[in-house]
Amino acid sequence: MSTSIFTTADLEEISAHGLTPEQVLDQIEKFKKGMPFTKIVKPCTTGDGIIVLDDKDIEKYMQVFNNAQSNSRCMKFVPASGAATRMFKLLLGAYNAFYGSCDSQGKAVDNTDEALSSFIREIDRYAFYDELKAKMKDSGEDLEDCIENRQIKTILEYLLFEKGLNLSNIPKGLIPFHKYNDASRTPFEEHLVEAFNYTKDKNGKIRIHFTVSPEHEKLVKEFIINVLNGYEKDGAAYDIGYSYQKHSTDTIAVDLDNKPFREDDGSLLFRPGGHGALIENLSELKGDIIFIKNIDNVVIDKFKDLTYRYKKALGGLLISLQKEMFEYLETLMEGRADGDSFQMIFAFIHKKLSIIPPGGILNGSNLEKEKYLIKILNRPLRVCGMVENTGAPGGGPFWVEKKGKGISIQIVEASQIDKSKNDQKQILESATHFNPVDLVCGVRDYNGNLFDLKMFVDNDAGFISSKSKNGRALKAMELPGLWNGSMAYWNTVFVEVPAATFSPVKTVFDLMDTGHQPQ
């Protein structure tokens, strides 16, 4: 396929996205070929790909981390571009259904969904209750009267849409999640609190970076400016950065014949490339030790100490491993490795980094061993918290075999696994842990230079999915996920962390869970 398939208008549109025609053709070829499945060998389990830290280990690594934190090595990266529409999916559906299920006064009839009924019964336990009540009062409505008289449609109008709090259309990070004695906090604020406790350096500087949607950037910045004084205490000062997914990471959509999908006006359709696009944002931070955590995974203050404890332990483990890696790299780079050195380094990458080299390397010449080990050790490093599997959706830790590259441990999504093969399906179903997106990353090399993180992406680890636009079927492509294919060629370590450190809010009802309630 040549670039002749594109019109002059197409070429202008492609250029406006920061892409080249050749890049778009490459995307179309991926649609034609399909993404190869990841071959999983076995699940990672405790003692076999997943480390379990005891109290002594935790205290040791926390001490290592405290020194790095004090010396300005640490920052936090929070993907926060998502709107809250999915969080309120059930309530939005209920609101739309009320057009046909309310009586003449707009009251809900008796067959109201139990989940919705529960939400209304417990609405005073949600952190946004007081704000909702005040907003309705300003418009002459009484929230408690609406509850008593089952005027649920009215409540949902003020909760979800622009006439009220508009919670279904604003960023998830701006929704009041937690109620305290005299105030409520949003996820953005909870991340400010967390960053204060494990990234603040000896000069009081706290570095945190949020990725946001362009349409919400102004709203988010104004909110954080307004609340920031309440969190800058004890001489601390936040250094807050913002970015969003670049248009150059968008991907073209195709029809079912793998031809470019065209809008009604004949223009091409491009779609956001998913969170894997953020590898570029991460690469441009010029950080050192970077913590990554999703915007909705926050807890109230009384549960934060456990989070801080494990965050610091993971960070300290990463720094300790980095030190060993850098020492081995210096030995290799200076040509000082001998038989004993090679044996020690191969043992290190096997026991500490869970890497099994491809066949033949161990019996190769010293030059071949040296070249291989330099390539393996001179890569970014990530330490990932893993939670015991309780049925929650998300990727999991597996031993993975890559042709010509040996076996290593990776975070793999279910969609990357060929479930039509019984052995692969059985391995997937036997997983004991899943990925809560609790990462700490080392993004500088042994000389202190920044890695170009785009060089360590497995570009064949993207996702193709079926979508539709205006009633027409199409296929869409996401880039390799940020913690999946985008970090496939990093060195990786998995550590078991307590389930209590993982309290995501995927639906509004999750705010009733222990990690989000003051009782």
Distances (CA, A) of 85 to 90, 92, 296, 359, 445: 10, 8, 13, 49, 40
Task: Please state, for a pLDDT cut of 70, what percent of the chain lies above it.
Answer: 96
Query: What are the φ and ψ backbone dihedral angles of 252, each rounded to 5 degrees?
Result: -75, 150
Task: Please state, for a pLDDT cut of 90, what percent of the chain lies above it.
Answer: 87
* Cα–Cα distance, 515 to 519 (Å, whole number): 10
Per-residue confidence band for 393, with pLDDT thresholds at 50, 70 and 90: low
Helices marked H in 334-390 — which ranges? 339-351, 366-377
136-145: long-range contacts, CB 8 A cutoff, minimum separation 24: 136/164, 139/163, 139/164
Nearest-Å Rg of the Cα atoms of the chain is 25
Structure tokens, 195: 């960053």
Question: Which H or E run includes 270?
Answer: strand 270-271
Identify the CA nearest to 53 among candidates 441, 498, 492: 498
Contacts of residue 476, Cβ cutoff 8 Å, sequence gap at least 6 = 251, 253, 271, 464, 465, 466, 467
* Cα–Cα distance, 274 to 314 (Å, whole number): 27
Identify the CA nearest to 430 among candidates 476, 457, 405, 398: 398
pLDDT for position 83: 81
CB-CB neighbours of 163 under 10 Å:
11
Identify the CA nearest to 82 among candidates 176, 194, 215: 215
* Cα–Cα distance, 515 to 307 (Å, whole number): 11
Tens of pLDDT, residue by residue over 156-210, are: 999 999 999 999 999 999 999 999 988 999 999 999 999 999 999 999 999 999 9
Identify the CA nearest to 82 among candidates 279, 274, 225: 274
pLDDT for position 114: 83
* Cα–Cα distance, 330 to 325 (Å, whole number): 9
* Cα–Cα distance, 31 to 78 (Å, whole number): 30
* Cα–Cα distance, 199 to 239 (Å, whole number): 11
CB-CB neighbours of 165 under 10 Å:
21
Tens of pLDDT, residue by residue over 41-100, are: 999 999 999 999 999 999 999 999 999 999 999 999 999 987 889 999 999 998 888 654
Identify the CA nearest to 442 among candidates 379, 380, 385, 378: 380
Give strand pairing partners of 23: none
Q: Which residues of 414-452 are buried (b: 16+ CB within 10 A; e: fewer)?
A: ebbbeeeeeebeebbeebbbbbbbbbbbbbbbbeeeebe
Structure tokens, 467: 């979508």
pLDDT for position 100: 47
Lowest model confidence (mean pLDDT) among 145-159, 253-267, 388-402: 388-402
Strand-strand pairing, 237-243 and 205-211: parallel
pTM of the prediction? 0.93
CB-CB neighbours of 64 under 10 Å:
18
CA dihedral 508, 509, 512, 517 (to 10 degrees): -10
* Cα–Cα distance, 195 to 499 (Å, whole number): 20
* Cα–Cα distance, 326 to 344 (Å, whole number): 14
- With beta carbons less than 8 A apart as the criterion, state whether 222 and 229 touch: no
Tens of pLDDT, residue by residue over 53-66, are: 999 999 999 999 99
Tens of pLDDT, residue by residue over 231-264, are: 998 889 999 999 999 889 999 999 999 999 999 9
What's at 133, amino acid-wise?
A: K
Find the mean pLDDT for residues 393-419: 91
Tens of pLDDT, residue by residue over 345-367, are: 999 999 999 999 998 899 999 99
Per-residue confidence band for 105, with pLDDT thresholds at 50, 70 and 90: low
Tell me which DSSP letter residue 51 carries.
E
